[in-house]
Amino acid sequence: MYDPKSSKAEEFISHEEVLETLRFADKNKNNTALVNEIIEKAKFRKGLTHREASVLLACELPDKNEEIFDLARQIKDDFYGNRVVLFAPLYLSNYCINGCVYCPYHRQNRHITRKKMTQEEIRREVIALQDMGHKRIAIESGEDPVNNPIEYILESIDTIYSIKHKNGSIRRVNVNIAATTVENYKKLKAAGIGTYVLFQETYHKESYEKLHPTGPKHDYAYHTEAMDRAMMGGIDDVGLGVLFGLEKYRYEFAALLMHAEHLEAVFGVGPHTISVPRVRPADDIDVSRFKNALDDDIFAKIVACIRIAVPYTGIIVSTRENKATRERLLNLGVSQISGGSRTSVGGYAKPEPEDENSAQFEVNDTRTLDEVVKWLMELGFIPSFCTACYREGRTGDRFMSLCKSRQILNCCHPNALMTLKEYLEDYATPETKAVGEVLIQKELDRIPNNKVRKIVEENLVKISNGMRDFRL
């Protein structure tokens, strides 16, 4: 039985409800009147139900699809403006006891190089990330209670936050580790993490169990209910994600939105972010085995429909995608991207030796952070290193109410300019700095409130004079 308020995975992600949603979407995909009605509802920027959004995703009417793409663009602009937040992943350890068939870290893979960073190695990596200009990272680790216990993760977070190198600091650590207990989520919260991210991989239970044949991750309910436990542990910013390519995308899309509806119904706070990774080649992973791979057009449509369905949620795209795809998705609602990423354990301080391979997937965008920053600015976006919200206590429902009322833009835009200025002063190449200075001057005029503009102008001067870390 479908019940968004249930605490049981199989009731808030009801298989029958997903199938019924897909039938409804199929029946109505060319129903112009209904599609129009849904688009009109979406224009109120309050989001859509999983059924409504599924109709838009299935819609085959070319003119309506253009409207959907246009609306996604406008909604992104209304909620987040033209800022794009930047982050980098940091892989702590690739020891893992699970058997996920799409990931090279699976336990049976004997030829991948297994690594776990010491605190000293983490220190070197963090300094290298700071020297690139990063302020926000996402730590990643395989599941292994012996090699990567929660104490190791907590110690690593402490190490990361403690490093102050030149003008650098990591101001927000998001965490992507395996589903765990309420007690452990409380410890992560106490360690000062930003968002807790856990990809569902697939919401289709039968496929999930086949794709995760061994290890604790095999337990569909425990994995799917993890965000509830995280919320109970006090983490109010959680990040959902599906690994597209494992199952049929329309199934995943409907279920992903049902998960968002469940969090909203039970905790009053939807997901802080949604990630949209696609299956990538890696050691021991042949992507041709995955028959549900998505083409770029469908992928773009999914991103646009997520943007419309949950306007208040950040959408993240990583360096799994190439430059062209990232550019296309940025115009359809993506609000956060990684840049200059290494997906191996270590690799920022010095490249991984040729005879070692600890990477989780092949990177498709290998540009440096500076190149990504310059590229974003040339596309008309403001690269942002902002971490203000969680440091100002704007998390969970406080963040959501600001976001839903579209007030967050009054913070995002000025903070983007101030953190970009820091980047330009400390890390940018002369060419990037030149482009950035012009952009900042132009964007200052777009701050509507005179008082805020004056504060930002004063802070920009202070940043030029060596002061750091201003935020609204």
Residues of this chain that bind ligand SF4 (CB under 6 A): 85, 96, 98, 100, 103, 105-106, 142-143, 178, 217, 384, 386-389, 408, 411-412, 415
Retrieve residue 277's tokens.
């990774």
Which residues are CB-neighbours of 20 under 8 A, at least 6 positions away? none
Return all residues near 471 (Cβ < 8 A) that are at least 6 apart.
386, 387, 388, 391, 392, 415, 418
CB of 91 to ligand SF4, least distance (A): 9
Residue for token pair 């090699």: 147
407: which 2 tokens? 């007030």
- Amino acid identity, residue 259? H
Question: Is the CB of 198 or the CB of 254 nearer to ligand SF4?
Answer: 198
Helix (H, G, I), strand (E, B) or coil at 204: coil
SS3 of 338, please? strand
Q: Are 319 and 86 spatial neighbours (Cβ–Cβ below 8 Å)? A: no
Beta strand spans in 156-299 (E):
172-176, 196-197, 238-241, 273-275
307, 336 Cβ separation under 8 angstroms: no
End-to-end CA distance of the chain: 45
CB nearer to ligand SF4: pick between 41 and 453: 453
Taking the complex as a whole, the smallest distance from the CB of residue 375 to ligand SF4 amounts, in Å, to 19
Residue with Cβ nearer ligand SF4 (69 or 208) = 208
Of 17 and 252, nearer to ligand SF4 (C-beta) is 252
Distance CA 28, CA 320 (A): 33
Nearest in space to 15 (alpha carbons), one of 207, 263, 198: 207
Q: Rounded to the nearest whole angstrom, what is the least distance from the CB of residue 337 to ligand SF4 in the complex?
A: 13
Q: Output the smallest distance, CB 325 to ligand SF4, in A.
A: 22
Q: Which is nearer to ligand SF4, 143 or 443 (CB)?
A: 143
Task: Kindly state the smallest distance separating residue 89's Cβ from ligand SF4, in Å.
Answer: 12
Please identify, using beta-carbon distances, which residue of 100 and 137 lies nearer to ligand SF4.
Answer: 100
Residue 363's φ and ψ, nearest 5 degrees, are -75, 140
Min separation Cβ 206 and ligand SF4, Å: 18
Phi, psi of 431 (to 5 degrees): -65, -45
Other C-beta atoms lying within 10 Å of the C-beta of residue 179: 19
Least CB distance from residue 414 to ligand SF4, whole Å?
9
CB nearer ligand SF4, residue 105 or residue 249? 105
Minimal distance in Å, beta carbon 217 to ligand SF4?
A: 5
- The backbone region for 216, taken as left when phi is positive above 0, alpha when psi lies in -120 to 50, beta otherwise, is alpha
Angle of CA points 381, 385, 390, to nearest 5°: 120
Classify the C-alpha dihedral 34-39-42-48 as positive or negative.
Answer: positive
Smallest gap, in angstroms, from Cβ of residue 105 to ligand SF4?
A: 4
Of 188, 192, 190, residue with least CA distance to 177: 188
Task: Compute the least distance from the CB of residue 243 to ligand SF4, in Å.
Answer: 8
